[in-house]
Amino acid sequence: MTDDLLARHRAVLPSWMPLYYAEPIELVSGSGRRVTDAQGRSYLDFFGGVLTNMIGYDIPEIREAVERQLATGIVHTSTLYLIRQQVELAEKIAQRSGIPDARVFFTNSGTEANEAALLVATNHRRSHQVLAVRNSYHGRSYAAMGVTGNRNWSASGLNPLQVAWLHSGDRVRGLLARLSPDEQVDAAVEDLREVLATQTAGDVAALIAEPIQGVGGFVHPPDGLFAGWKKVLDEHGILFIADEVQTGWGRTGEHFWGYQAHGVTPDLLTFAKGIGNGFALAGVVGRAEVLESVAAISFSTFGGNPISTAAGNAVLDYLLEHDLQANAARVGAILADGLRSAVGGLDCVAEVRGKGLMLGVEFVRPGTSEPDPALTNRVFEAAREGGLLAGKGGLHGNVLRMGPPLTLTEEEAREGLAILVDAIRSCAGVAA
């Protein structure tokens, strides 16, 4: 058998699973916010396994919690038996969710969490009509893909739901991009009313929306838009699902959940990624009246298993004890302010956007709003050469995405900023 891992990967895994970089790398060890590849090269990680390694790598408190559970010999029991770690984590999440009389159902991934939320909402409303947002991403399963408004990630046009689409918060292009924030909110609310009147039968089950669109390139609407939408939804009894798979747990810095920037409370909230810090853990939390709307037995075999919830309890405790939300706001400001100052004025940079430690830089052809994915890829590769791992995204693949662990230090933020600025300026042909 060859030692060429890339060749072996291509021989047994599907071609539609992308690999980053012209020369893909294997990460073999990690500590804090740094990882090392198989060639011994160290990188500062600004993507965290797609915003999943939220606390970082090799964190003693999390490792020890998992080892304690492993030492009991119980890795899995199924939810047919009481699981202490699961109950304890559900209590914490329900309390932090902001949703009154909350219930929690655990799954393995954000896709499954969103699928569960859609199941609950459509059962509760007895309707398969759903509102979703253009440029969104909610997962790779049948219904979750059906409410994904990004063609690059919609692997099938088949859909069990009847979906009507609302405008996103894109400030670079689109019908609402030319408007001020207040005007954009008013126009989006008017659009919602028109969509309900023209594209639905009226008895819509739910609206599902990300406070900040992850795969969509960290596009987000003006604060307060969800409140405008929610007022209209409430008039019709339509549920609101906040997809917090990427925005949750204080990542935006200003709030614990992204929905809180809008002054509303969702009926259902989905979570995943960071809460497991690499262990498979996700779920949906919602009002008991809504979450109890499943008329038959349903459970997730591995969802909320003893190992993942042991990790989840340790992650959430660490997050709160170290006030990582405040850290996200502080170090995120270093990155955002630094990027806007150093490269925000370049004619190839359309926008530096995001909140906290969820930041994106959108690249365009100079002097236009035409996406430039080629430049984005050059910057992406140059950042890796400089010792920094980032991500990519956006509808046109022209957004550099950054979602470092929330434990990122100010010194590391400045180190990563310097690498990013150098990569952007050099790839854009700007003298140092």
Q: For residue range 305-345, what is the model confidence (pLDDT) as tens digits?
A: 999 999 999 999 999 999 999 999 999 999 999 999 999 99
**Longest CA–CA separation in the chain, Å:** 64
The three-state secondary structure class of 37 is strand
- Phi and psi at 336, nearest 5°, equal -65, -50
Query: Cα 100–106–108 angle (5° rounding)?
Result: 145
Helices (H), 126-203: 142-146, 181-199
pLDDT at 289: 96
Q: Decide if pLDDT at 432 tops 60.
A: no
Let me know: does 105 contact 97? Beta carbons within 8 Å: no
Let me know: does 104 contact 134? Beta carbons within 8 Å: no
Calculate the alpha carbon distances from 279 to 107, 139, 294, 364 in Å.
12, 18, 27, 36
Let me know: does 77 contact 83? Beta carbons within 8 Å: yes
Q: What does pLDDT average to over the chain?
A: 96
Closest CA to 276 of 244, 306, 308: 308
pLDDT at 1: 37
The dihedral formed by the CA atoms of 91, 136, 397 and 361, expressed in degrees to the nearest 10: -60
Tokens 């100010």, located at residue: 410
pLDDT at 157: 81
Q: What is the pTM of this model?
A: 0.96
Let me know: does 83 contact 309? Beta carbons within 8 Å: yes
Are β-strands 268-271 and 282-287 bridged in parallel, bridged antiparallel, or unpaired? antiparallel
pLDDT tens by residue, 353-384: 999 999 999 999 998 999 999 999 999 999 99
CB atoms under 10 Å from CB of 78, counted, come to: 12
